Structure 1
Amino acid sequence: MKQQAQLELEDVKRIAAAAEAHARQQGWAVSIAIVDAGGHLLWLQRLDGAAPISAQIAPAKAHTAALGRRESKSYEDMINQGRVSFLSAPGLQGLLEGGVPILVDGQCVGAIGVSGVKSSEDVEIGRAGIAAL
Protein backbone atom coordinates (compact mmCIF):
# COMPACT_ATOMS: atom_id res chain seq x y z
CA MET A 1 0.00 0.00 0.00
CA LYS A 2 1.30 3.42 -0.93
CA GLN A 3 1.57 6.14 1.69
CA GLN A 4 1.17 9.78 0.77
CA ALA A 5 1.86 13.05 2.53
CA GLN A 6 -1.08 15.30 3.34
CA LEU A 7 -1.30 19.04 3.76
CA GLU A 8 -1.80 20.10 7.35
CA LEU A 9 -3.19 23.42 8.51
CA GLU A 10 0.27 24.82 9.28
CA ASP A 11 1.40 23.93 5.74
CA VAL A 12 -1.63 25.68 4.27
CA LYS A 13 -1.03 28.78 6.40
CA ARG A 14 2.62 28.91 5.33
CA ILE A 15 1.74 28.60 1.63
CA ALA A 16 -1.01 31.22 1.94
CA ALA A 17 1.22 33.67 3.82
CA ALA A 18 4.00 33.40 1.24
CA ALA A 19 1.56 33.80 -1.65
CA GLU A 20 -0.05 36.81 0.02
CA ALA A 21 3.35 38.39 0.74
CA HIS A 22 4.39 37.99 -2.90
CA ALA A 23 1.13 39.49 -4.15
CA ARG A 24 1.39 42.43 -1.77
CA GLN A 25 5.04 43.06 -2.75
CA GLN A 26 3.89 43.43 -6.34
CA GLY A 27 0.83 45.49 -5.41
CA TRP A 28 -1.53 42.84 -6.81
CA ALA A 29 -5.06 42.42 -5.43
CA VAL A 30 -5.95 38.74 -5.81
CA SER A 31 -7.85 35.85 -4.31
CA ILE A 32 -5.86 32.84 -3.15
CA ALA A 33 -7.34 29.36 -2.74
CA ILE A 34 -5.68 26.17 -1.50
CA VAL A 35 -7.25 22.73 -1.85
CA ASP A 36 -6.30 19.22 -0.80
CA ALA A 37 -5.54 16.36 -3.21
CA GLY A 38 -9.26 15.76 -3.74
CA GLY A 39 -9.90 19.38 -4.63
CA HIS A 40 -11.62 20.21 -1.32
CA LEU A 41 -11.19 23.81 -0.23
CA LEU A 42 -8.84 24.31 2.71
CA TRP A 43 -8.15 28.05 2.39
CA LEU A 44 -9.66 31.04 0.64
CA GLN A 45 -8.76 34.67 1.01
CA ARG A 46 -9.58 37.71 -1.08
CA LEU A 47 -7.15 40.56 -0.64
CA ASP A 48 -8.52 44.08 -0.37
CA GLY A 49 -9.34 45.42 -3.80
CA ALA A 50 -9.62 42.03 -5.50
CA ALA A 51 -12.66 41.62 -7.71
CA PRO A 52 -15.41 39.55 -6.09
CA ILE A 53 -15.45 37.08 -9.02
CA SER A 54 -11.82 36.21 -8.24
CA ALA A 55 -13.03 34.49 -5.05
CA GLN A 56 -14.92 32.03 -7.26
CA ILE A 57 -12.29 31.64 -9.97
CA ALA A 58 -9.33 30.93 -7.65
CA PRO A 59 -10.89 27.83 -5.99
CA ALA A 60 -11.99 26.53 -9.40
CA LYS A 61 -8.43 26.83 -10.73
CA ALA A 62 -7.04 25.07 -7.64
CA HIS A 63 -9.66 22.31 -7.87
CA THR A 64 -8.80 21.66 -11.52
CA ALA A 65 -5.05 21.57 -10.82
CA ALA A 66 -5.49 19.14 -7.92
CA LEU A 67 -7.79 16.72 -9.74
CA GLY A 68 -5.76 16.84 -12.94
CA ARG A 69 -2.45 16.73 -11.07
CA ARG A 70 -1.14 19.36 -13.49
CA GLU A 71 -1.26 23.10 -13.98
CA SER A 72 -4.67 24.34 -15.04
CA LYS A 73 -2.97 26.11 -17.96
CA SER A 74 -2.60 22.75 -19.72
CA TYR A 75 -6.39 22.59 -20.07
CA GLU A 76 -6.63 26.17 -21.27
CA ASP A 77 -3.97 25.39 -23.90
CA MET A 78 -5.80 22.24 -24.96
CA ILE A 79 -9.03 24.16 -25.50
CA ASN A 80 -7.28 27.06 -27.26
CA GLN A 81 -5.70 24.56 -29.64
CA GLY A 82 -9.14 23.47 -30.76
CA ARG A 83 -10.16 20.67 -28.43
CA VAL A 84 -13.26 22.54 -27.32
CA SER A 85 -15.07 19.30 -26.51
CA PHE A 86 -12.94 19.25 -23.34
CA LEU A 87 -15.22 22.00 -22.01
CA SER A 88 -17.69 19.20 -21.25
CA ALA A 89 -15.26 17.37 -18.92
CA PRO A 90 -17.16 16.64 -15.67
CA GLY A 91 -16.19 18.46 -12.51
CA LEU A 92 -13.69 20.84 -14.04
CA GLN A 93 -14.55 24.52 -14.07
CA GLY A 94 -11.27 26.36 -13.65
CA LEU A 95 -9.83 25.68 -17.08
CA LEU A 96 -7.74 28.84 -16.93
CA GLU A 97 -4.08 29.46 -16.17
CA GLY A 98 -3.50 30.11 -12.47
CA GLY A 99 -3.92 26.71 -10.80
CA VAL A 100 -0.71 24.97 -9.69
CA PRO A 101 -0.48 21.51 -8.12
CA ILE A 102 1.44 21.13 -4.87
CA LEU A 103 3.81 18.19 -5.28
CA VAL A 104 5.63 16.42 -2.44
CA ASP A 105 7.99 13.60 -3.38
CA GLY A 106 6.35 13.43 -6.80
CA GLN A 107 2.83 13.08 -5.36
CA CYS A 108 0.12 15.71 -5.66
CA VAL A 109 -1.03 16.68 -2.15
CA GLY A 110 -3.18 19.61 -3.24
CA ALA A 111 -3.09 22.75 -5.32
CA ILE A 112 -3.17 26.52 -5.14
CA GLY A 113 -5.30 28.71 -7.35
CA VAL A 114 -4.88 32.44 -7.74
CA SER A 115 -7.07 34.93 -9.58
CA GLY A 116 -7.05 38.67 -9.97
CA VAL A 117 -4.16 39.72 -12.19
CA LYS A 118 -2.68 38.45 -15.46
CA SER A 119 -2.75 34.65 -15.55
CA SER A 120 1.05 34.42 -15.64
CA GLU A 121 1.17 36.63 -12.53
CA ASP A 122 -1.44 34.45 -10.84
CA VAL A 123 0.90 31.49 -11.41
CA GLU A 124 3.86 33.49 -10.11
CA ILE A 125 2.00 34.12 -6.85
CA GLY A 126 0.99 30.46 -6.58
CA ARG A 127 4.54 29.26 -7.10
CA ALA A 128 5.83 31.72 -4.51
CA GLY A 129 3.39 30.21 -2.04
CA ILE A 130 4.38 26.64 -2.83
CA ALA A 131 8.08 27.55 -2.49
CA ALA A 132 7.46 28.25 1.21
CA LEU A 133 6.57 24.60 1.72
Structure 2
Amino acid sequence: MTRISLDQANTIIAAGFAKGSELGLKPLSIAVLDAGGHLLAFQRQDGASTLRPQIACAKAGGALSLGVSSRKIGDMAVDRPTFVASLGPIAPHGVVPAAGGVIIVDDADLPIGAVGITGDTSDNDEACALAGIAAAGLNAQA
Protein backbone atom coordinates (compact mmCIF):
# COMPACT_ATOMS: atom_id res chain seq x y z
CA MET A 1 0.00 0.00 0.00
CA THR A 2 1.36 3.41 -0.90
CA ARG A 3 -1.37 5.69 0.40
CA ILE A 4 -4.02 6.04 3.05
CA SER A 5 -7.62 5.94 1.87
CA LEU A 6 -10.34 8.21 3.23
CA ASP A 7 -12.01 5.14 4.76
CA GLN A 8 -8.79 4.28 6.61
CA ALA A 9 -8.40 7.88 7.78
CA ASN A 10 -11.95 7.86 9.11
CA THR A 11 -11.30 4.52 10.83
CA ILE A 12 -8.21 6.01 12.50
CA ILE A 13 -10.30 8.91 13.78
CA ALA A 14 -13.20 6.74 14.99
CA ALA A 15 -10.87 4.32 16.77
CA GLY A 16 -8.86 7.17 18.28
CA PHE A 17 -12.05 8.67 19.70
CA ALA A 18 -13.15 5.24 20.95
CA LYS A 19 -9.83 4.79 22.78
CA GLY A 20 -10.21 8.26 24.28
CA SER A 21 -13.70 7.40 25.51
CA GLU A 22 -12.46 4.09 26.93
CA LEU A 23 -9.75 5.96 28.87
CA GLY A 24 -12.08 8.78 29.94
CA LEU A 25 -9.99 11.47 28.24
CA LYS A 26 -10.78 15.11 27.60
CA PRO A 27 -12.24 16.00 24.15
CA LEU A 28 -9.81 15.04 21.38
CA SER A 29 -9.05 16.46 17.95
CA ILE A 30 -7.59 14.15 15.31
CA ALA A 31 -5.94 14.98 11.98
CA VAL A 32 -4.80 12.44 9.39
CA LEU A 33 -2.34 13.65 6.74
CA ASP A 34 -1.17 11.88 3.59
CA ALA A 35 2.54 11.35 2.83
CA GLY A 36 2.79 14.82 1.29
CA GLY A 37 1.45 16.44 4.43
CA HIS A 38 -1.98 17.19 2.97
CA LEU A 39 -4.97 16.95 5.27
CA LEU A 40 -7.03 13.85 4.49
CA ALA A 41 -9.47 13.94 7.40
CA PHE A 42 -10.08 15.87 10.60
CA GLN A 43 -12.60 15.79 13.40
CA ARG A 44 -12.81 17.28 16.84
CA GLN A 45 -15.03 16.17 19.65
CA ASP A 46 -17.61 18.42 21.24
CA GLY A 47 -15.94 20.69 23.77
CA ALA A 48 -12.49 20.69 22.13
CA SER A 49 -10.80 24.08 22.34
CA THR A 50 -10.35 26.29 19.29
CA LEU A 51 -6.63 25.83 18.56
CA ARG A 52 -6.81 22.03 18.49
CA PRO A 53 -7.07 21.65 14.67
CA GLN A 54 -3.78 23.49 14.21
CA ILE A 55 -2.07 21.56 17.01
CA ALA A 56 -3.17 18.18 15.62
CA CYS A 57 -1.93 19.10 12.13
CA ALA A 58 1.35 20.45 13.56
CA LYS A 59 2.01 17.24 15.47
CA ALA A 60 1.39 15.10 12.37
CA GLY A 61 3.02 17.51 9.91
CA GLY A 62 6.08 18.02 12.09
CA ALA A 63 6.55 14.27 12.36
CA LEU A 64 6.38 13.89 8.59
CA SER A 65 8.69 16.86 8.04
CA LEU A 66 11.44 15.45 10.25
CA GLY A 67 10.79 11.75 9.69
CA VAL A 68 10.30 10.97 13.39
CA SER A 69 7.38 11.03 15.82
CA SER A 70 6.48 14.26 17.54
CA ARG A 71 7.58 12.57 20.80
CA LYS A 72 11.11 12.27 19.37
CA ILE A 73 10.94 15.91 18.25
CA GLY A 74 10.16 16.77 21.88
CA ASP A 75 13.26 14.84 22.93
CA MET A 76 15.27 16.77 20.33
CA ALA A 77 13.99 20.04 21.76
CA VAL A 78 15.68 19.29 25.08
CA ASP A 79 19.12 19.05 23.47
CA ARG A 80 18.60 21.46 20.57
CA PRO A 81 15.92 23.97 21.59
CA THR A 82 16.95 26.66 19.11
CA PHE A 83 16.84 24.24 16.20
CA VAL A 84 13.40 22.88 17.09
CA ALA A 85 12.03 26.37 17.78
CA SER A 86 13.21 27.50 14.34
CA LEU A 87 11.16 24.80 12.57
CA GLY A 88 7.69 26.19 13.26
CA PRO A 89 7.87 29.14 10.88
CA ILE A 90 9.24 27.08 7.99
CA ALA A 91 7.05 23.98 8.35
CA PRO A 92 3.74 24.10 6.42
CA HIS A 93 1.67 23.01 9.45
CA GLY A 94 4.11 24.14 12.12
CA VAL A 95 5.80 21.76 14.55
CA VAL A 96 4.59 20.79 18.03
CA PRO A 97 7.33 18.93 19.94
CA ALA A 98 5.05 16.80 22.11
CA ALA A 99 3.84 13.21 21.79
CA GLY A 100 0.71 12.61 19.72
CA GLY A 101 2.10 12.84 16.17
CA VAL A 102 2.80 9.38 14.73
CA ILE A 103 4.04 8.48 11.25
CA ILE A 104 2.18 5.71 9.40
CA VAL A 105 4.38 3.43 7.30
CA ASP A 106 3.84 0.81 4.62
CA ASP A 107 5.26 -2.72 4.63
CA ALA A 108 8.64 -1.39 3.48
CA ASP A 109 8.68 1.12 6.39
CA LEU A 110 8.18 4.05 4.02
CA PRO A 111 5.93 6.88 5.26
CA ILE A 112 2.41 6.95 3.81
CA GLY A 113 1.04 9.58 6.19
CA ALA A 114 0.72 10.63 9.80
CA VAL A 115 -1.81 11.07 12.58
CA GLY A 116 -1.84 13.98 14.99
CA ILE A 117 -3.97 13.92 18.12
CA THR A 118 -4.38 16.57 20.78
CA GLY A 119 -6.67 17.27 23.69
CA ASP A 120 -5.42 15.30 26.67
CA THR A 121 -1.92 14.57 27.96
CA SER A 122 0.61 13.94 25.24
CA ASP A 123 1.05 10.31 26.30
CA ASN A 124 -2.71 9.74 26.07
CA ASP A 125 -2.86 11.51 22.70
CA GLU A 126 -0.18 9.16 21.39
CA ALA A 127 -1.94 6.07 22.78
CA CYS A 128 -5.07 7.06 20.86
CA ALA A 129 -3.06 7.63 17.67
CA LEU A 130 -1.51 4.17 17.94
CA ALA A 131 -4.92 2.59 18.59
CA GLY A 132 -6.37 4.34 15.53
CA ILE A 133 -3.54 3.25 13.27
CA ALA A 134 -3.84 -0.37 14.43
CA ALA A 135 -7.64 -0.34 13.98
CA ALA A 136 -7.18 0.74 10.36
CA GLY A 137 -4.87 -2.23 9.74
CA LEU A 138 -1.89 0.06 9.26
CA ASN A 139 1.55 0.26 10.90
CA ALA A 140 3.09 2.99 13.03
CA GLN A 141 6.73 3.87 12.51
CA ALA A 142 8.87 2.06 15.07
TM-score normalised to structure 1 length: 0.89
> What is the CA–CA distance in structure 1 between the aligned matches of 2:101 and 2:131, rounded to whole Å?
13
Q: Shift in Å at residue 108 of structure 1?
A: 0.8
Q: Would the alpha carbon gap of residues 48 and 27 (structure 1) be closer, same or farther in structure 2, given more than 3 Å must change? A: farther
Equivalent residue for 2:34?
A: 36
Amino acid at match of 2:10: K
Unaligned runs of 5+ in 1: none
Unaligned runs of 5+ in 2: 138-142
Equivalent residue for 2:19?
A: 22
Equivalent residue for 2:65?
A: 67
What aligned pairs does 1:101-116 form with structure 2 within 5 A after superposition?
A: 101-105=103-107, 106-116=109-119
What aligned pairs does 1:70-109 form with structure 2 within 5 A after superposition?
A: 70-89=68-87, 90-91=90-91, 92-105=94-107, 106-109=109-112
The share of aligned pairs that are identical, in percent, is: 37
Residues 79-103 of structure 1 show CA distances to partners (whole Å, capped at 9, x for unaligned) of 1224423321321422222100011
Asked if structure 2 preserves the Cα contact closer than 8 Å seen for 1:38 and 1:67, the reply is no
Tell which deviates more after alignment, 87-96 or 61-70.
87-96
Q: May I ask how many residue pairs the two structures share in their alignment?
A: 130
Equivalent residue for 1:122?
A: 125
Asked if structure 1 preserves the Cα contact closer than 8 Å seen for 2:19 and 2:128, the reply is yes
Amino acid at match of 1:126: A
Tell which deviates more after alignment, 120-129 or 66-75.
66-75
Q: Which SS does the other structure have where 1:120 is aligned?
A: helix
Tell which deviates more after alignment, 106-115 or 81-90.
81-90
Asked if structure 1 preserves the Cα contact closer than 8 Å seen for 2:100 and 2:126, the reply is yes
> What is the CA–CA distance in structure 2 between the aligned matches of 1:85 and 1:58, rounded to whole Å?
21
Residues 1-46 of structure 1 show CA distances to partners (whole Å, capped at 9, x for unaligned) of xxx6111111111111111111122222110110001111111111
Q: Which SS does the other structure have where 2:68 is aligned?
A: coil
TM-score normalised to structure 2 length: 0.84
> What is the CA–CA distance in structure 2 between the aligned matches of 1:83 and 1:17, rounded to whole Å?
34
Asked if structure 2 preserves the Cα contact closer than 8 Å seen for 1:76 and 1:95, the reply is yes
